[in-house]
Amino acid sequence: MSYAIIRNANYKKENLAGLYKHNERKNTNYSNKEISKNKLKDNYSIKKCNTTYTNALKILQKEHNLQGRIIKTTNVICELIITSDKEFFENIGKEETKRYFQTAYNFVANYKNLGEEYILSAKVHLDETTPHLHIVFVPVIHKLNTESGKTINKIACSEYWKGKDSYRILQDNFYKYIIENGFDLERGKSRKIEHLSTEKLKQVTDYDNIKYEIKNEQITQLETKKTSLILAQNNELIKYTNKLKQHLAKSYKAIESVQELEKENITLKHENENLRQENYRLRNYIDKTFEVAKHLFNFPVRTFKNLVDNFVKTFNNDF
């Protein structure tokens, strides 16, 4: 018996580029060897995304005034992978396969009152062993503001999948919806013993390959960002170093000027000291001369000094 399979994965902003490239088949090469490039043309969109998931998210936030605090660790996108096994799709044929995926899309659009406008992309992959549908949507919850009476739309992944049984309830509701629409499938088991082997589930959902491609995309983006950041910082360091060199050159000149002034100052100090000593000797000599004149001519020293001062003044005036 075949099973109705629905699996959810949550993604942060940094994961969106890799997820977009994988789902929309924008890569040149794929790690998943089951992807047949000859069958890429068979893939189709139930809802087409005309831009990247990152841009589509920004547009939705602006158009619907989506609330919610979004940081680096916030899950902003959910992806439901919906499928069954290869035998189921071979038995129901091409048209019923299309109806199965359209039915699944309708279920998601109305589940928890989501709204089709918050589905970014719904892509059916037929280029692998087992057909499957990727539905990428923004987990928006709708709350009534009791004060204003208006509905607030908020991005809140943890509230959308609130409760430890949220995924079991998702499986219950999806199975019920699929059965009501005429598809003969079993419900996926909710216990730890899965209805498919781990390897088979990986093939069906392509989870490991998506994860690998997203991881590589993140590394590439981070390396590019780091390289750009390093180059920018290096340019800033070069500019700063050149400024330092200019300041140092000016400082060296200033230091040299100061050193020259210090030398001149030392020289002047020596000359000043010599003049002071010479002045001291001359004063002693004059004083002794006056003393000698006093004894020789019996002339008061004070009167003699006045005569000398008058003579010097007269001498200076003549010249």
Contact 17, 52 (CB under 8 A): yes
Q: Domain for residue 121, yes or no? A: yes
Question: Are 200 and 284 within one domain?
Answer: no
Report if residue 216 sits inside a domain.
no
Range(s) of the domain holding residue 298: 265-318
Query: For the purposes of burial, counting CB atoms within 10 Å of the CB of 14, is it exposed (0-12), middle (13-18) or buried (19 or more)?
Result: middle
pLDDT at 259: 76
Residue 207 has a pLDDT of 47
pTM for the predicted model, two decimal places: 0.61
How high is the pLDDT of residue 174? 96
Q: Would you say residue 252 lies in a domain?
A: no
- Same domain for 195 and 95, yes or no, is yes
Which amino acid type is present at position 128? Answer: E
Residue 105 has pLDDT above 90, yes or no: yes
Residues 184 and 271 in one domain: no
Q: What is the CATH number of the domain that holds 25?
A: 3.30.930.30
Q: What SS3 class is residue 48? A: coil
Last residue of a domain, which of 180, 205, 230?
205
Question: Do 290 and 184 lie in a common domain?
Answer: no
Q: Last residue of a domain, which of 157, 175, 205?
A: 205
Q: Which of 82-86, 94-98, 138-142, 281-285 has the lowest mean pLDDT?
A: 281-285
**Rounded Cα–Cα distance for residues 32 and 25 (Å):** 12
Under 8 Å CB-to-CB from 126, ≥6 apart: which residues?
39, 42, 43, 44
The total of other beta-carbon atoms located within 10 Å of residue 17's CB is: 19
Residues 270-314 pLDDT 10s: 877 888 888 777 777 777 776 766 666 666 767 767 776 776 677
Indicate whether 64 and 184 sit together in one domain.
yes
Ranges 51-55, 165-169, 285-289: which has the least confidence: 285-289
User: Structurally, how many domains does the chain consist of?
Assistant: 2
Q: What is the pLDDT of residue 198?
A: 41
pLDDT in tens, 54-82: 999 999 999 999 998 888 899 999 999 99
Last residue of a domain, one of 185, 205, 225: 205
